[in-house]
Chain A
Amino acid sequence: MIEARAVGIRIGRADLLTEVSLRVARGEVLALVGPNGAGKSTLLRVLSGDLPPTTGDVLLAERPLRAFPPEDLARARAVLPQEASLRFAFSALEVALMGRAPHAARSEGPDDLRIAREALRRVGLGAHEARIYTTLSGGERQRVQLARVLAQLPPTDTAGPRCLLLDEPIASQDLAHQHRVLRIAREEAERGAAVILVLHDLVLAAQYADRIGVLSRGHLVAEGSPADVLTPDLLRDVFSVVAQILKAPTAPGHPLVFVETDDI
């Protein structure tokens, strides 16, 4: 569905990304992890089409991203950026409805309203549609933006590409909402989307992602199933921590990470 082929980003004399190749199919969730400044957000920007790669190519449904007119791209993939800067007093519902803009030719109809309301309900803000965005808490704002992004996704029965890119979607969320948001990512994959998300929490990444990609200094240094990728060696090399990998007693498939020390 979405594929990066030997993507490189060079700004000035700095290589932000080098030869990154990955592929996420319909129904899959890939979590990108890595230390601060490793290039996770840069990679997401390349995959979303914001940043044209210096070398290599990004393909969506086997078609280069740059060949998509902006309107078509907006109907095929939705992106949640890390920080939102909205400072105007729209209601939560009005913000969620903006996600329908690529699909509604002139003005939004009853279907769009239904989809936007459903998206707000899924992020746990169904009862808050009339609240003014600027008066919401940071976590609530982030979930309103997520609702907007969910409303933007094409219908599940679409034949075309359906891709969801989330940059640190749980950065401002409490424990319950972290799981709620990640469950939504999982659901979207089950409904036929290719999902890529940037996460810092390795345990949550292991629990919700099919595969984990580890970025370090612009290189994709490991990529595979959580159990294969999360090893003490990798955590030492990439994050400079001494860690044990444990297994959850009731869910042995999910590795847990216990950090002993970062003093190495």
Chain B
Amino acid sequence: MTSAAFSALAHAARRPAGRRTILLTLAALLAFVTLLAASIGAVPLSLAQVLAIALRPLGLVLPVHVTSQDVAVFWAIRLPRIVLGILVGACLGASGAAMQGLLRNPLADPGLIGISSGASFGAALAILLVGAVGTGVPLIPVAAFAGGLLAAFAAFRIGREDGHPGSLLLAGIAINALAFAGVGLVIDAANDAQLRTITFWTLGSLGGASWDTLRWTAPPLIVSVFLLQRLARPLNLLLLGDIEARHLGVRVDRVQRNVIALAAFGVGAAVSVAGLISFVGLIAPHLVRLVVGPDHRAVLPGSALVGAIVLLLADLLARTAIAPRELAIGILTALLGAPFLLALLWGGARAGRV
């Protein structure tokens, strides 16, 4: 494509009608990836079989042969994992976009203000303690959730003292260092079995998906993704600068508090059930901004959709690449995301940006 054609296309994508088209395209792509993820696996299902199984409860019976085992695989194994992937990916994407907007830093990510590392420390500590006590409570996710919220809250309170977004980042870096030091100490005290659990957990996986886990992780993920969308306009104005946003009537403190609370709430839930999944929150908003520009009214829903697509594809790869064993999804997102980020920086540096 010539650069003139590309820039004409890019300009069209920035108009409201163009944005709608792109969001609809992404939604269609997500639907397609969902079908794909539902059909591929240890028990292969054709797309027709997937549709037949999915539509039967709605009273639509398609003339496709399905066994009761197919039905069970779809409803009990594949669908909860897909739903979890979509929700976690959407939450990571939307939170990443909102954090980047809030900090006016396109390299920000929910991990930067300590949510993920706090959650890791919580989880690692719980693994150590559960191993010792041996109770059956879902202590690990609860501890991860609490750790993430606590770390984000601490970074926010300390880093906002002088009202500068850079300080929040620095506070986040310090909290991250502390939390990882904590994880290090826990690893030092852990036995081999605990160590394996901790390692697997810090690399991320959607393997824990079930309707049971969704019952308590889906609400915070959904709430976070949808409420973040409502902050699109104030986030746009914040890109002008805190002072300019205030001149335009934005209650800057309230917006900051809401973005961080919603991101911590959602990402805390995501990390608690799926472990650390890096780069999705960083990359999804970048990809979307390349096409639709920086307006959060397109970037937030777009990042949620792209986050969901990327995570579903990564999970598909994670559970099929070395089947019957599974790769950790965090390895895949990092393996795909890191070179992408480097390419972005390299291209940006050459174009004189960044």
Q: Which residues of A contact B (CB under 8 A)?
A: 48, 50, 70-75, 78-79, 81, 84-91, 94-95, 98-99, 101-102, 107, 130, 134, 148, 152
Q: What is the distance, in angstroms, from A115's C-beta to the closest C-beta of chain B?
A: 14
Cβ–Cβ contact B249 & A73, under 8 A: yes
A72, A98, A130: which contacts B248 (Cβ < 8 A)? A98
Cβ–Cβ contact A84 & B249, under 8 A: no
A73, A75, A86: which contacts B239 (Cβ < 8 A)? A86
What CA separation (Å) do A148 and B11 show in the bound complex? 21
Whether B241 sits at the interface, judged by CB under 8 Å, is: yes
Contact A94-B295, Cβ < 8 Å, known A85-B104, A86-B241? yes
Cβ–Cβ contact A102 & B239, under 8 A: no
Q: Which residues of B contact A (CB under 8 A)?
A: 11, 14, 104, 106, 233, 236-237, 239-241, 243-244, 246-251, 289, 293-295, 297, 353
Cβ–Cβ contact B293 & A91, under 8 A: yes
What CA separation (Å) do A134 and B293 show in the bound complex? 12
Cβ–Cβ contact A84 & B240, under 8 A: yes
What CA separation (Å) do A98 and B248 show in the bound complex? 8
Q: Which of B11, B104, B244, B251 has the most CB of A within 10 A?
A: B244
Cβ–Cβ contact A75 & B249, under 8 A: yes
A74, A86, A87, A88: which contacts B247 (Cβ < 8 A)? A74
Cβ–Cβ contact B248 & A102, under 8 A: yes
Which residue on chain B has the smallest CB distance to residue A48? Answer: B247
A88 partner residues in chain B, CB cutoff 8 A: 104, 106, 239, 294
Contact A81-B241, Cβ < 8 Å, known A48-B247, A99-B248, A102-B249? yes
Q: Which of B106, B233, B289, B297 has the most CB of A within 10 A?
A: B233
Q: What is the distance, in angstroms, from B4's C-beta to the closest C-beta of chain A?
A: 14
Cβ–Cβ contact B251 & A70, under 8 A: yes
A89 partner residues in chain B, CB cutoff 8 A: 289, 293-294
Cβ–Cβ contact A70 & B246, under 8 A: yes
The 6 A-B pairs of least Cβ separation, nearest first, read A74-B249, A88-B294, A71-B249, A102-B249, A79-B247, A85-B241
B250 partner residues in chain A, CB cutoff 8 A: 70, 101
What CA separation (Å) do A146 and B116 show in the bound complex? 41
Known A70-B250, A85-B241; 14 more pairs at CB < 8 Å: A50-B247, A70-B249, A74-B248, A78-B247, A79-B244, A84-B241, A87-B104, A88-B106, A88-B239, A89-B293, A90-B295, A98-B248, A99-B248, A101-B237
